[in-house]
Amino acid sequence: MNLPELPPDPASFPAEASAFTLTGPVGALECISDVAAPDEARQGVAVVCHPNPVQGGTMHNKVVTMVERALRESGLDTLRFNFRGTGASAGSYDDGNGESEDLAAVVAWLRRARPADALWLAGFSFGSYVTIRSAVRLGADALVSIAPPVGRWSMADDVLPACPWLVVMGEADEVVEPQAVFDWIDGMEQPPELIRMPETGHFFHRRLMDLRGAVKHAIADWLPAARA
């Protein structure tokens, strides 16, 4: 799909699906935005973060695009971006630390472009690690975490969010140990809503439509008010 190319750092959120760059901490961040159907639109924007770029993760990952679709079909406008060193984004991989600052820069732009909107954060694998560790600091209103990489990055010292939070985990994940995720959630005082998907691996092969439906169903009661 050919998207309109907007100038860097647009002053407002694009009114149609668009590609543009934002200024991040170490240079350009490559972004794609999209908007909900007018009759479904809610007063919120979801930022969706991609898996580990060292292992080929980008904002075009199939799980990322399916989660984006689920959120947009639920009425949220969406924004995906490539972390530093990925695609046309400047910089180099920084093990989640610099990537968290990339996310903060994107959110700062969103706060200027859409100051009245609810902020939702979503991520897959490494992207869920970045969004979980950033949710409280960035004031997220809701969080969606797909296959959070418990055991691969330490989340022990991170301040966990108290906002509505969904975790979706495949029970046959071959990258992240499913039981480690379940034990991590069991130890929380305010655990997220957990969806366990049987016979599902890390990349949700043949289960992407099931993932879409699970996300849409789980978040339905959390959605912000209709956009005026």
What is d(CA 14, CA 31) in angstroms, rounded to the nearest whole number? 11
Q: How far is CA 5 from the centre of its chain?
A: 22
Phi, psi of 196 (to 5 degrees): -100, 125
0.85 surpassed by pTM: yes
Q: What residue ranges define each of the domains in the chain, with the CATH number in brackets? A: 30-222 (3.40.50.1820)
Q: At what angle do helices 97-113 and 126-138 cross, to 10 degrees?
A: 50
Count other Cβ atoms within 10 Å, centred on residue 191.
13
8-state DSSP, 150: B
Q: Contact 160/186 with Cβ under 8 angstroms?
A: no
- Return per-residue pLDDT of the chain as tens, 228 residues: 678 888 689 999 999 999 999 999 999 999 999 999 999 999 999 999 999 999 999 999 999 999 999 999 999 999 999 999 999 999 999 999 999 999 999 999 999 999 999 999 999 999 999 999 999 999 999 999 999 999 888 776 667 899 999 999 999 999 999 999 999 999 998 999 999 999 999 999 999 999 999 999 999 999 999 998
